[in-house]
Copies of this chain bind each other. A is one copy, B any other.
Amino acid sequence: MRLTTKGRYAVTAVLDLALNSKDKPVNLSDISSRQAISLSYLEQLFSKLRKNNIVKSIRGPGGGYLLNAPRDQISVATIINAVNESVELSRCDGRANCHDGQQCLTHNLWVDLSDRINDFLDRISIGELIRQNEQQNSQINRNHQGDIPISSYGS
């Protein structure tokens, strides 16, 4: 489990997709301008998201991407792992090439932790994230911290 800007971009882009696709496919140019992520970088990310069956694509004019499953069935962990694919976490994960016992022990401890984080993020779906945020905004229906009205979001 890794949590970098790359994963953040991917989750953000999928959230944008979920929020803006009303059964209609959303094209990457739109996500690019809304989220200020370069088109080509989005292409790289969506290529991996598509290969992992998180989104599906429709080519040609009016095409774009759609979620490949209901919002509540797409977990944050799935998205992050999709774009971080093929990055090995620990140099010795079970294999015996770990000279010193001490090193292997701490590696195991890290792998345990990593698994727990993964389980945690696997239980958070993008649907849940969106709902939770909506609830927050309706509960605290006044300005928080600064003076940016909540109502300016959907503009």
Q: Which residues of A contact B (CB under 8 A)?
A: 1-4, 8, 11-12, 15-16, 19-20, 34-36, 76, 89-91, 94-96, 100-110, 112-113, 116-117, 120-121, 124, 129-130, 132-133, 136, 145-146, 148, 152-155
Q: Which of B4, B12, B113, B129 contacts A4 (CB 8 A)?
A: B4
Report whether A113 and B129 are in contact in the complex, using a CB–CB cutoff of 8 Å.
yes
Residues of B within 8 Å of A130, CB to CB, are: 109
* A30 shortest CB reach to chain B, Å: 10
Report whether A145 and B34 are in contact in the complex, using a CB–CB cutoff of 8 Å.
no
Residues of B within 8 Å of A107, CB to CB, are: 12
CA of A20 to CA of B132, assembled, Å: 43
Residues of B within 8 Å of A112, CB to CB, are: 129, 132-133, 136
Q: Which of B11, B100, B113, B121 contacts A110 (CB 8 A)?
A: B11
Residues of B within 8 Å of A16, CB to CB, are: 102, 106
Report whether A96 and B146 are in contact in the complex, using a CB–CB cutoff of 8 Å.
yes
Closest to A145 in B: B94
27 A–B contacts, CB within 8 A, in A order: A2-B3, A4-B4, A8-B89, A8-B90, A8-B110, A11-B113, A15-B109, A15-B110, A16-B102, A19-B105, A34-B100, A34-B102, A36-B103, A94-B146, A95-B146, A95-B148, A96-B152, A101-B152, A101-B155, A105-B153, A105-B154, A108-B153, A109-B130, A112-B129, A117-B117, A117-B121, A120-B120
